[in-house]
Structures are given as C-alpha cells and as structure tokens.
Amino acid sequence: MSDLLSIGASGVRANQAALAVVSENIANAGVSGYSRRTVTTKEIVSVSGTTGATSGHGVFVTGVSRAADQFKAAAVRSAGADLARTEAGGVWMDRIQSALTGSGLDTRLTSFFNAAKAVAADPTATAPRAAMLEQARSLAASFTSTGAALANATTELDATADQAAADLNSLSAALAKVNEGLGRAGPGTAGAANLADQRDDLLEKMSAIVDVSASFDAAGRATVRAGAGAGQVLVSGNQVGTVSYARNAEGAVAFAVTNGKDVSVLTPNGGALGGVVDGAQRIADARVELGEMASAFVEGVNDVQAGGRTLDGTPGEPLFAVGAAPTDISLAMTDPRGIAAASAGEGTRGNGNLAALEAVRTSGKFEGTLTGMVADNAAAIQARGMVADAQAAIRGSAITARDTISGVDLDSEAVDLLRFQQAYQASSRVISIARDTFQTLLDIR
C-alpha cells in the first residue's frame, strides 16, 4: 500500500513540474532568445535480490531539458554576420554617393567651362568675365563641400567603429559573467537553461558585430573566437579580450584584441566591423580619386592662366588656391579683368588662351571622372542591395530551421498542458484510492 502511495505521489510531483515548465513555455512564446523546455524523468526501479525481478515505484524528475541545436544556432550567427557586413558596408557607400552628388560638383564643373566659352565669345565684355568668376567661386565651394562630406564620412565611420568595438567588449564581458554562472549552476536546472538562453542571445548579438565561432564545455560555457582563420579569442571562461580600433592617415583601418599582455590583429570577415573595413576602403579610395582630380583641375587651370594675358595685357595670375587638402579650394582672384583670355602676343580682344582651357577640360576628363565615380558607386550599391536580399533570405531560413527545434509551438504546448493536467489528476486519484483502501483495511481490523 505504501508503494501505491509513493507511486501516486511521485506522479503528482513529476506532472506538477511538467505543468510548471509548460506554463513557462506558454508565457515566453514569442520571446526572442527563449528555447522551449521539457521536464526529463526517470523511473524508480527496484530489483529483487532473490528472483532478480524488477518492480516500479514511480518516477522522479531528473532535470529540465532545453530544446536547442548548436549547429543550427551557429548557422544563424554565420548568416547574421554576413548580412550585417553587407548592410553596414552599404551605409558607407550611400554616404559616398551623397557626398559626390550633394553639392552639385558635376553641374558646376560644366557651368564653369561653359562660362569660359562665353568669355571666349566676347573677351572684352565685363559681364561674361564676372559670370565666369562667379562660376569659379561656386565650383571651388563645391569641391570643398564634397571633400568635407567625404572627410565627415570618415569621421563618422571612426565613431561607428569605436562604438561597435565598445559594444562588442560589453557583450564579451556579459558572456563571461554568464559563463561564470553556468559553472555554478547545476546541470539540468531551470537556472542553467535560462543562462544558456542568455549565452546564445549574447552570441547572436556578437555575430552582428563580428563573425564569431563558439565551442562549449560540458557545463555549457562558451569559448568565443572572432575573425578570419582560427580567429582571436574574445571570451574563454570568465577571461575577456578587449577589442580596439585604429585608422592610419591613408584611411586603412585595423582592429586588435588584447588579452592580458598579448595583442593580436583581428581581421573581421563579417558583422558591422567587416562593413567598417569595406566602407573605410571605399571612402579612402573616393577621397584619393577626388583629390587627384581636384589637384589636376587646379593645376591645369592655373597653368592656363599663367600662359595667357589679362584684359590689361599682364601675365595671368592663379585663379584658384588650395588649402591643406587637395579639395580645399578657394578663389584666388577677385577682379574679372584678371582672367587671362588672350594668348601671349594677342591683343586685348584675343581669346586664344581659352582654347588651352578647353584642352585641359578634354584631357583632364574631370566631368567624366566624376560621372564614372558616381555611376560605379551606384552600381556597387545596387549589387550590394541584391546580395543583402539574398543574405536576408538565407538568414530567415536559418532562423526558421533553428526555431523549428527551439521555438515554442502554442498548439503543442496546449496539448501537453491538457495531457499533464490529466496525468496529474490521475496521480492524485491513485493517492486518493490508496488512502481510502488503507483506511478501509484499518477499519476492518
């Protein structure tokens, strides 16, 4: 009779624990990072010493099992890192496009050369000369504005990279704390399951910043490496590496991981840091190309000025001046009469020197170069957008595959809830019958 009571009591306890877990699953359905739990039980069995026969005495709860597949979780992280790199790099390509087109540099280049043609048509008229000087002033301001926009993009990229590195360091520190908690938590406990959820959520957030790989020990503690090749250790147990960012004068960026006294180069292959590397290179290339074009333009125009004669018959002075950067261009002339339209030996009505300016326009290909830069960057943006769409689909499929295993299905939970309620009631009924039977036997005596 005592066996019947113990069997019923063990069933009540087991089903009560199962009901609690199902309730937790239902309450956390749709919560990001939550993995479905189930109760694991084991039968209580005794073996007869004389006959070897076994008999059951109920069940006991061995722990809480967490539904998860680390391979599918790793696939989500990998797909997320690829998508984050593409999207982050696209941000800086958009900034380049805005910088190249925002100040109207292309139209002002054309307007400047067209104004020079107007002066050539009537070299002695003051109005066309004044208009050309005004177009030169606008063009200089446009060069300066475009260069400043690219410089600002570089500054913002530095701030973004610094913040991303700081966020990654914070996530690494949080993961080390979770590792520490997993080392103390008993295996198969609800606490260990909660910590494992936090661990996987942190790993997914880290993968959005940099490509990471993770390995796990028996307690579920993660060792995390980041970057190309074997990667650099970011987290091992409760030890944390610190990520730092730097950029040289040429625009090349670098990341490093410091573990104690050891400093290692981190080469991101994914995540926002990978996008920073891509964006930094593109911005640097755009600044170099624009700077070279600006230098060639100023040099060509000023050389034409030096080879001609002003309306007063004096040698031409520079039309433009350059500051610290090649694109820091300003107007160096204030008197329209100083435009050197005539060639040496021509009279004041000559315009031969402006033909040399048109030759500089043709040979320098300034407008074509700028158009090519804008078109190439636009094509790269479009291509990257298509890649991002494909990567988003891949990541979505990976998330679906992961959530098929770890996600909560409310229909299944509702079935389990009904099943465990009925099992709980049946176990309670066993206890009630055993008690009544025991009382009947006592009454007979």
Q: Is 45 a member of any domain? A: yes
> Is 184 inside a domain boundary?
yes
236, part of any domain: yes
One domain for residues 61 and 136: no
Q: Does the residue 154 lie in any domain?
A: no
User: CA 321 to CA 305: how far, in whole Å?
Assistant: 13
Domain-located, residue 72 = no
Same domain for 133 and 236, yes or no, is no
Q: What is the pLDDT of residue 161?
A: 97
Task: Write down the mean pLDDT value for the chain.
Answer: 89
Are 295 and 351 in a shared domain? yes
The whole-number pLDDT of residue 39 equals 82
pLDDT tens by residue, 236-294: 999 999 999 999 988 889 999 999 889 999 999 999 999 999 999 999 999 999 999 99
238 and 249 share one domain: yes
Question: Taking residues 432-436, what's their average pLDDT?
Answer: 71
Is the pLDDT assigned to residue 2 strictly greater than 60?
A: no
Give 1's pLDDT tier (boundaries 50, 70, 90).
very low
What pLDDT score was predicted for residue 29?
Answer: 85
The verdict on 8 and 36 lying in the same domain is yes
- Give the residue among 37, 168, 83 at the shortest CA–CA distance from 399: 83
List, in sequence order, every residue forming a beta bridge with 215; answer none if it has no partner.
Answer: 223
Q: Are residues 249 and 138 in the same domain?
A: no
Residues 226 and 88 in one domain: yes
Residues 266, 241, single domain; the answer is: yes
Q: Which of 16-25, 214-223, 285-294, 347-356 bottoms out in mean pLDDT, i.e. has the lowest? A: 16-25
The reply to whether 138 falls in a domain is yes
Are residues 145 and 166 both part of a single domain?
no
In terms of DSSP bridges, do strands 212-216 and 262-266 run parallel, antiparallel, or are they unpaired?
A: unpaired
Query: Comparing 2-11, 120-129, 279-288, 420-429, which segment has the lowest mean pLDDT?
Result: 2-11
pTM of the model: 0.86
Q: Are residues 203 and 243 in the same domain?
A: yes
Q: Is residue 155 included in any domain, yes or no?
A: no
Contact of 354 with 343, CB cutoff 8 Å: no
Could you give the CA distance from residue 107 to residue 110 in angstroms, rounded to a whole number? 5
Total number of domains constituting the chain: 3
**pLDDT band with cut points at 50, 70 and 90 for residue 53:** very low
> What would the 3-class secondary structure string for the chain be?
CHHHHHHHHHHHHHHHHHHHHHHHHHHCCCCCCCCCEEEEEEEEEEECCCCCCEEEEEEEEEEEEECCCHHHHHHHHHHHHHHHHHHHHHHHHHHHHHHHHHCCHHHHHHHHHHHHHHHHHCCCCHHHHHHHHHHHHHHHHHHHHHHHHHHHHHHHHHHHHHHHHHHHHHHHHHHHHHHHHHHHCCCCCHHHHHHHHHHHHHHHHHHCCCCEEEEECCCCCEEEEECCCCCEEEEECCEECEEEEEECCCCCEEEEEEECCEEEEECCCCHHHHHHHHHHHHHHHHHHHHHHHHHHHHHHHHHHHHHEECCCCCECCCCEEECCCCCCEEECCCCHHHCCCEECCCCCCCCHHHHHHHHHHHHHCHHHHHHHHHHHHHHHHHHHHHHHHHHHHHHHHHHHHHHHHHCCCHHHHHHHHHHHHHHHHHHHHHHHHHHHHHHHHHHHC
Host domain of residue 347: 104-149+283-376
Same domain, 112 and 86: no
d(CA 72, CA 64): 21
Residues 183 and 269 in one domain: yes
The whole-angstrom separation of Cα 32 and Cα 127 is 69
- Looking at the domain assignment, is residue 168 inside a domain? yes
